[in-house]
Amino acid sequence: MTKTAKLILENGTFEFPVIEGTEQEKAVDISKLRAQTGYVTLDNGYMNTGACTSNITFLDGEKGILKYRGIPIEVLAEKSTFMEVAYLLINGKLPNEKQFLEFRNGINDVSKVPDGIINIIKQFPKDAHPMGVLSAAMVGLSAFYPEYLDADLTPEKKVKVINQLIAQMRIICAAFYRHSIGKNPVKSDTKLSYCADFMHLMFDKGNIDPAVAQALDILLILHADHEQNCSSTTVRVVGSSQANPFASISAGIDALWGPLHGGANQAVLEMLEAIHQDGGDFKKFLARAKDKNDTFRLMGFGHRVYKNFDPRAKIIKKACDTVLDKLGVDDPLLEIAKGLEAEALKDPYFVERKLYPNVDFYSGIIYRALGIPTNMFTVMFALGRLPGWLAQWKELIESDAMKIARPRQIYTGDVNSEYVDIKKRK
pLDDT value, residue 255: 97
Q: Where are the domains of the chain?
A: 4-50, 66-255+377-397, 264-369
CB of 265 within 8 A of CB of 325?
Answer: no
* From 189, 360, 400, 421, active-site residue: 360
How many Å apart are CA 102 and CA 187, to the nearest integer? 22
The yes-or-no answer to whether 4-50 and 264-369 have a common fold is no
Winning range, highest mean pLDDT, from 205-214, 325-334, 415-424 = 415-424
Q: Residue 360 catalytic?
A: yes
Q: ∠ at Cα 296 (290, 297), nearest 5°?
A: 75
**Per-residue pLDDT tens for 166-186?**
999 999 999 999 999 999 999
pLDDT over 70 at 232, yes or no: yes
Question: What CATH number matches the domain at 264-369, 3.30.390.30, 1.20.120.340, 1.10.230.10, 3.30.930.10?
Answer: 1.10.230.10
pLDDT value, residue 1: 58
0.95 cut: is pTM over it? no
The residues, any chain, with a CB within 8 Å of residue 171's CB and separated by 6 or more, are: 111, 112, 113, 185, 188, 201
pLDDT over 90 at 61, yes or no: no
* From 60, 200, 303, 310, active-site residue: 303
**Is the CATH number 2.40.10 carried by domain 4-50?**
no
Q: Residue 7: is it exposed, middle or buried by C-beta count within 10 angstroms (0-12/13-18/19+)? A: middle
How many Å apart are CA 156 and CA 406, to the nearest integer? 30
Q: Residue 7's pLDDT band (boundaries 50, 70, 90)?
A: very high
Question: What CATH number matches the domain at 66-255+377-397, 1.10.580.10, 3.40.228.10, 3.10.290.10, 1.10.10.60?
Answer: 1.10.580.10
Average pLDDT over residues 229-236: 97
Q: Residue 276 catalytic?
A: no
